[in-house]
Amino acid sequence: MSRKNSGQPSNPISLSGAAAGWKHSAAMRWLLLLLFVFLFYFSISPRLVPETYDITLNAKSDKDIKAPRQELDEKATLQAQDEAAEKVGPIYSIVALRNEALIDEIFTRIEELNLDDLITVSDKVDIYRRVIPERVDQYIVNFVTANKGSETYSEGLLAEMESVILSQKYSIPEETFYKIPNLTSDQLLEMRSVGREVVRKLTGESLTQAETARTKVAELVNASSLSQRTEREIVQELARLAILPNKFYDKQATEDAKVEAKQNTPPVLIKQGDIVVKAGQVITDSIYERLDSLGLLQERKSYLPQLGVLLFSIIFTLALYGYGELTTNAAGAQKRTNVQWVMLLLIFALNILFMHLVALTHSEEWPFVGYLAPIAMGSMLVTLLLDMHIGLVSSFLFTLLASLILNVEQEHIFDFHYGFVAAVVTFTSVLAIHRASQRSSILKAGIMVSLFGSVAVLALMLVNPEPSRVQLVQSVIFMFSSGLLTAVLVIGLMPFFEVTFGILSALKLVELSNPNHPLLRKLLTETPGTYHHSLMVGNLSEAAAESVGANGLLCRVGSFYHDVGKTKRPLYFIENQNASGNPHDKLDPKVSASIIIAHAKDGADMLKAHKLPKPIRDIAEQHHGTTFLKYFYYKAVKQAQEQGVENQWTEDDYRYPGPKAQSKESAIVGIADCVEAAVRSLNHPKVEQIEEIIGKIIKDRLDDNQYNECDLTLRELDKIAETLKETVIGMFHSRIEYPDDKEIKKMKEAKEIRA
């Protein structure tokens, strides 16, 4: 057993068919680092190193020459501005007329006249016929007068409003005027309330045609508290009169929008990758000067940009490798294998590829399509498949790469906008996914990326002097879609990496812990005692593993499957026996031992047949290591003494075939398995007994060299013992009691005397 705290990686991985030696080969590690340098170099060199050409003035070009960066096209820009202005449709503005105040005035006037007994009914009808329609005209005139010269409504809009309202003015039927004088004050009070509510409700929305809302008046009035037909009819007519259009064509706003559209039209650029000179085109002085300004003349070529890109690539690689190794050593874990670096290289390559593909779609119509790049995909995959630490440094590198690759305009080497957004989404993805336990967590993390990324994009757009509403909406939509695209890609790529590299991620472990898995269902239905025992071992081993920094989830799930081999002969294991008795009582100890020993190998074979990951199979095969079946051995010794025959076996015949535990997780499950069985064999155990038996089990295995091939330290074994003692109380199970030291010593002495 190693005395150095060097740990196992939390996610053991293996690559099918690969030679065992290359996984830790230093030469292969250097080769992979060199591939990282190449990957970074060829990823960013198209943005930073322009291609040069052998150009002769006044000669024909023998090939197409593309622009390495953007150039302004003034003529096309002016044309684009005119087209943008033409696309601006008529703008309609809403005028707050407060129509309920108009109907309120009408009812006030009616109430005043109805209370005047000196005026005859006939005169009142004539007054209503003249005054009520005039109230509408006067109301509009007063509104226009009050708002002239204000910043709220332009004069053109107010003139348009008067014209439209006049054309849509409602005429009250003649018979209505004859009904109004007969209304009492109480009726008018109730009618006023209903009329105000109806008008307020129907004019609360924008109206270009008043008739649309007037058709709904009858329905609302009939559903009101008015009980008399005359009251409802009068209210309906007055409400229709008070309902006026409130949305009008705004010429000034339309012209302002056209001007704004021109101002917000992005300049037309000769984009990176556009053809500057076509094959066969004569190189004129102006073209030659443009090529010179773009740095495309081979005669003036400089190799300094290539050197700069190479240095960038080396720095990126050293940052990734150095931080990865530093965090591994700090955590006390084993160094990362070359398989992990191959997987990391593939993730970086995929993420960079997606960034380049999105960058290729950049156009004038979609200037912010770069926000669609699923930059957080790489960070999420690295965090899920490796760990959070390497996920963080990868996020930093993805941020720098995004600000380089998506920097299509190339005003600066790094684009702050894409860099800032990339930093937000990558670090958000790591924090959102690092404790994921279900596949749905990936979708939730994608939504978090969408939300935080959209907020970051919105903040960047709003701090611009004059943010364009269209560009703002477009960029936010792209960013929100990026988060969802990231989740889809991660969900789709996770099975590929898990299968290809043998990754046992936390998500996969949670899936395997589902009780509906065929093997767990089989374990539950055929060996319920073993199933319950496995659950208890899972609780113990998980707590113990987490106390020493091992993979607790792997221990828990591995415990669920570690005794699945017992399903082949369930009644030969005491937890599954009923009142019919113990079949081992009638068997030869050697046969009993072979049955017990076989369950580890049988379980590993069953797990392999069901294609469970190798770390789970290893726990099932290694959890007993090469431990000694004392009970059956000394039972055989006792039988031989009673029969007076010579022993024909050795202790090796009563040992599990192994292999010994190769990882902390396998060793911890083995200890928890033995502790759970031993404690359940005690009757009314005390804390001191539990502590003693846990210490004895660990010491026996330590003395038996069961931990020589894994990286458990003595300090970690002490932590495991303490954690098991705290967890095991109350979790008892009926098991065969192990013979104590006195009985074992007595049997040994009897054997020596006989020999």
Task: Report H helices in 95-154.
Answer: 99-115, 121-147
Alpha carbons 633 and 156: distance in angstroms, whole number: 107
The pLDDT tens digits for 47-94 are 787 666 667 777 777 777 767 666 676 657 888 888 888 888 888 888
Residue 310: its pLDDT value, please?
Answer: 92
Is residue 561 exposed (0-12), middle (13-18) or buried (19+ Cβ within 10 Å)? buried
Q: Which residue has the higher pLDDT, 451 or 629?
A: 451
Tokens read off for 65: 């020459």
Alpha carbons 402 and 44: distance in angstroms, whole number: 10
- Give the SS3 label for residue 658: coil
CA dist list (Å): 35 to 292, 348, 349, 521: 34, 11, 10, 46
Q: Which CATH number fits domain 20-46+304-501: 1.10.10.10, 3.30.470.20, 1.10.1760.20, 3.40.50.300?
A: 1.10.1760.20
Chain-wide mean pLDDT for the chain? 81
- Give the SS3 label for residue 643: helix
Alpha carbons 622 and 624: distance in angstroms, whole number: 5
CATH 3.90.105 residue ranges of the chain are 53-73+268-300
Q: Which residue has the higher pLDDT, 7 or 690?
A: 690
To the question of domain 508-754 being in CATH 3.10.20, the answer is no
Once rounded to an integer, what is the mean pLDDT over residues 393-403? 93
| Residue 679: closest CA among 667, 691, 669 | 691
CA dist list (Å): 547 to 533, 540, 544, 721: 21, 11, 5, 10
Alpha carbons 395 and 572: distance in angstroms, whole number: 54
Lowest mean pLDDT among 39-48, 289-298, 630-639, 735-744: 735-744
Tokens read off for 157: 């809009």
Alpha carbons 655 and 672: distance in angstroms, whole number: 19
Residue 546: its pLDDT value, please?
Answer: 87
| Residue 50: closest CA among 387, 390, 293 | 293
| Residue 206: closest CA among 96, 91, 101, 89 | 96
Residues 6+ apart with CB under 8 A from 329: 335
| The CATH number of the domain covering residues in 53-73+268-300 | 3.90.105
Residue 632: its pLDDT value, please?
Answer: 75
Strand partners, 247: 94
CATH 1.10.3210 residue ranges of the chain are 508-754
The pLDDT tens digits for 329-338 are 554 455 678 8
The pLDDT tens digits for 115-162 are 888 888 888 888 888 888 888 888 888 888 888 877 788 888 888 888
Structure letter (DSSP) for residue 683:
S
The pLDDT tens digits for 222-259 are 888 888 888 888 888 888 888 888 888 888 888 888 88
| Secondary structure (H, E, C), 249-271 | ECHHHHHHHHHHHHHHCCCCEEC
Alpha carbons 179 and 192: distance in angstroms, whole number: 15
In the block, residue with structure tokens 């004569």: 282
Strand partners, 297: 53
The pLDDT tens digits for 315-330 are 999 999 988 888 765 5
In the block, residue with structure tokens 């496995």: 534
